[in-house]
Every structure is written in C-alpha cells, then in structure tokens.
Amino acid sequence: MAGFVRGYARLPLPADLNWFWTIGAMLVAVLGLMVLTGLTLSLAYTPDAGLAFGSVEALERRLPSGWLLRAMHMTGASFCMAALYAHILRGLYYRSYLAPRRGIWLSGCTLLGLLMVTAFAGYVLPWGQMSYWGADVAGKAVGSIPLVGPLAERIFLGGEMPGTPTLHRMFTLHFSLAFLIVGVVGLHVALVHARGSSSPSGRAVPARGFLPFHPYFTVRDILAVLVFALVFVLVMCFWPGLITEPANYRPANPLHTPTDIEPEWYFLPFYGMMQVVPFKLGGVVLSGGAVALLFAVPWLDRGADKVRDRQAGVPHPEVCNIATAPDAAPDTVPDTAAADGPARTVLHGGDAGLGSDMGESGQMAHGGWSAPGRMSGSAWGATLALAMLMGAAVIAASAGRHHAQGGWLLAGRAAIAVYYAYFLVFLPLRGRAGKARP
C-alpha cells in the first residue's frame, strides 16, 4: 500500500495542467460521499410498493441525522452528474480522447453510462409521484423497441405496471452498480497512470516539463474540492429546490397522473429528444444515440492517428526527481535541449481542437495557438462548436421541460440537429483538417 501511495505521489504530470484538471478530484470526492451515505440509507429502506415511501419518511424523521444523510445523497447525485458532464466537456475541448488515450476516454464514457443507470434507479426508490410515473415512462420507452420490447418491458417492471417487483429490481441495480462504478473509477485512474495525462497546451512536453502529482497538484486538487464542498453545502442547505421535485414528496398514486412528468435535470436533454419526435421509437433511438456517440468520438476525430506511435508515452519517474531537484527547477531548464543531449518529448493528444501534429521544435505544426496566449482560428472554431453543443443540450432540456409544445418543438428539433452535427460533421472535419496539413 505504501508503495502504491509513493508511486501515485510521484506520478508525472504536465506542468501546464489548468484548473479543469481538478474536476476528476471533485468526482472522486462526491462519489465517495455517495457510496458512504447510500450504504447507510440502505439499512433503513424497504423496497416494497406499500412501504417504500413510509420508510424514506421514517429514515428522515426517526433515524439520527437521517435527514442530513438523505440530503447529502440527493445533492450528491446532481453534483456528481454535473461534474461528470463538465469532465467530458473538458475532454472534448482538449481532445483528451486521441491516441494513445482512447482507453481512458472509453472508460470515462462507460462510467457515464453506469452513473446514468444508477441515478435513474435511485430516482425510482423513494416511490413518490415522480418516481412511479418516471418508472412508467421508462417502461413504455423500453417497450417501444421492436420484437423484444414487450418482453423487455415486463422484465424491467416485473409486470404490467410499476410495483413491488420494480422496486426490488431498482434497489438491486442501484446497490450493486455502486460497487461496479468504484471499480471502473479505479480502472480509469490506472489507465491515466499507464498512458499519462494529456496536456492542455497541445505541445510536445519536454522531459523537464513534468511535475510530480504531490505536492504540486494535490494542493490545487484539495483547494478545488473545498470550493466544490462549499457550493455543495450552500445548495443543500439554502437552495434545495434546485435539485428536488416537490411532487416526489407525495406518495405514488397510480390513479392520478401528474400534470408535468419530467425527470431530474441531468436527464432533461435526453427526455427532450424523446419529446420532439412524433413516434416513440424514434425518440428512444435519438436519446440513446446521443450517449452512444460519445463512445465513437475517438474514431470520429482521427486527427492524431499518424503521430500516435511517434514518441508517445509516459515519462519515467526519474523525470519527477529531475523536476524536484533544487538545482533543476522547471522554469530554468530549456525546453528544447538538456546538458547531455536533446530533451525527451512526449506527445499529448489534447489541444482544444487546435491540431495535434507537432514539429520537431515542439511547437504546433499547424492550427492551434499562433502565439503564446493567443488563439488561432481553429481554436476559436473548436470553442464555438463546443459552445453550440452546450447550447443545444440546454435547449433540448428546455424543450423537454416544456413538453415540446409550441415553439419548443422546433427549437428542440434544431437542438438535436446541432448536437448530432457536432459529432457527425464537426469532429470528422476537424480530424481531416489535421491530417491534410503538412
């Protein structure tokens, strides 16, 4: 164990990593909180249609600090998904999915899928009005799949409608997937160790351009987690309405359909995609495809394929010893040469869409940063494209919240077109532009 900690502390990371690289630490912190509070809450929960809502009320009112545990768990779900979305957007912007880090990207996308399933299962467990009707809508969506849909719906619900079998399935899924998520997080971190972290600059990183994880990055991660925790507490204590649904504080009633059935905010973009399509199967395909596209990103943008085998790798731990030596401060060591020969360089996919092929001098061979601190046209194009992607997600979520009525129907369809265009048009063009240039 001590050897593992020492190895982790000496993990070499590019010295130019910015604050966006602290989101991973926030995710680990909130996931740990979710697991601990979830295990405690599970001791008092009863997965039965007639008892589930009462057991949740009892653990909030009778279990010592039960209200606090549930508040942390509910708030943690929203903050976890928000941090994960931000983590993925950072990867898209800096092209962290390029070889040789495709495994890191795919493990992160797998983690997103697992968290979405786990979050939905947890949403059903309180068995309030939104929980019940959310399970009903999900069951009908599964039932729309040709051939296997009706059977899959019965397996999903445990019958013709949501009930006690549904709760047993959701509780088992929610509980077991939590441990699988912990394993995938461990795999994700191990892959980062094996492949190294990408650099936000998009330049070839010289051997002395690395710093050990501790203390240089642990201090920044701790500060970021503390700020994250402060915002977490403020939302949990002062603005709980941002992440809770009042209708879910009423017991499930199969005879009364709520006026507005909508999922949690982090599912709203996908719910909106289902709403703007006139037939149910089309909506299911579009919303599922929106997540599936993330797994295909490394093959949609292949701009760095021709350099993936050229000097790619992770610096030896001795690099960190050099970086921390008193007589070899990183800011005094030339980037292009060392006393005993040329500095070792490590190519890093990840340059905010700025192109990924480097010249021999370590500068960008094309696209990207035209000068220190100044963005080129391709960088602005990547920034604009990502902003449009985020805007499309927000509009799709708003369309879902308004049930795609009136102008929201057209706005939602336009948002879907922009979302899919980012992955199917912009990313391939971005990769081809990188390959076409000398």
Q: What's the confidence (pLDDT) of residue 405?
A: 87
What are the residues whose beta carbons fall under 8 Å from the beta carbon of 87, sequence distance 6 or more? 23, 24, 27, 108
Report the predicted TM-score, pTM, of the whole model to 2 decimal places. 0.84
Query: What value, to the nearest 5°, has the Cα angle with vertex 326 and ends 323 and 329?
Result: 45
Compute the CA torsion angle 403, 405, 408, 414 (nearest 10 deg): 90
Q: What is the pLDDT along the chain (438 residues), one digit of tens a residue?
A: 666 667 667 777 888 888 999 999 999 999 999 999 999 999 999 999 999 999 999 999 998 899 999 999 999 999 999 999 999 999 999 998 988 889 999 999 999 999 999 999 999 999 999 999 999 999 999 999 999 999 999 999 999 999 999 999 999 999 999 999 999 999 999 998 888 887 787 666 677 777 887 887 889 999 999 999 999 999 999 999 888 888 899 999 999 888 888 899 999 999 999 999 888 899 999 999 999 999 999 999 976 554 443 434 444 444 444 444 444 444 433 333 333 333 334 444 444 333 333 333 333 333 344 444 556 667 788 899 999 999 999 999 999 999 888 899 999 999 999 999 999 999 999 888 765 443
User: Alpha helices, DSSP H only, in 125-242?
Assistant: 129-143, 149-157, 164-195, 213-216, 218-238
- Residue type for 17, please? L
